[in-house]
Amino acid sequence: MSEPLKELRAQRDLIQTHLTWLDTQIAAAEGCAAQHPASPDQPSALPSDAAPTPKVAEAPTVAAAQHRASHEPTIPPASAIKIDQERQLATRTSDVRSAQLGCFLFFVGSILLFLFCLFGLPYLID
C-alpha cells in the first residue's frame, strides 16, 4: 500500500472518530443519553478488519489529537450568547448607518463636482 493511501485512511479514521464524538455531544446537548446509531451510509468509527489501518510514524500526534478531542468543550452561558448576538446586531446597524452616510457624502460630493464643472470651470477657462 502506498504511503499517501495509508495517511488518507488514517485521516479518515480520525475524522470518523471526531464525527462520532460530535454526535454524542449533540445527543447530550439535546438531552438524550443514548447515542444515535451510525447510518448505513456512514462507515463505523472503528476501522474494519478487512481494511486494517497501519500504524503511522506520528502515532503520538494522533493519540494527542484524540485525547484533546475526548475532552468536552466549555459552552458559554446563555447570557454570554445573548450579549454576543446583541453586539452583532449593533455592529450590523452601525455598518448600515455608516454605509448610508458614505452614500450620502458620495452623492453630495458628486453634485458639488457637477455644479463646479457646470458653473465654475467655464470662468476658470476664460
Q: Give the range among 56-60, 65-69, 78-82 with minimum mean pLDDT.
A: 56-60
Residue 124 confidence (pLDDT) above 60: yes
pLDDT at position 19, please? 93
8 or 1: which carries more pLDDT confidence? 8
Domain that holds residue 108: 76-126
pTM across the whole model: 0.30
Give the mean pLDDT of 65-79. 58
**Averaged over 59-76, what is the pLDDT?**
55
Inform me whether the pLDDT recorded for 76 exceeds 60: no
Domain end residue (candidates: 53, 70, 87): 70
* 109 — pLDDT class (breaks 50, 70, 90): very high
Pair (41, 90) in one structural domain? no
What is the pLDDT averaged over residues 46-68? 51
Residue 83 sits in the same domain as residue 114:
yes
Both 65 and 118 in one domain: the answer is no
Q: Which residues contact 16 (CB under 8 A, 6 or more apart)?
A: 42, 43, 44, 45
Taking residue 56's Cβ as centre, other Cβ atoms within 10 Å add up to 14
Lowest-confidence range among 38-52, 63-77, 91-105?
A: 38-52
* Structural domains counted in the chain: 2
Dump pLDDT digits (tens) for 94-105. Answer: 788 889 999 999
Domain shared by 36 and 22, yes or no: yes
Same structural domain, 104 and 118:
yes
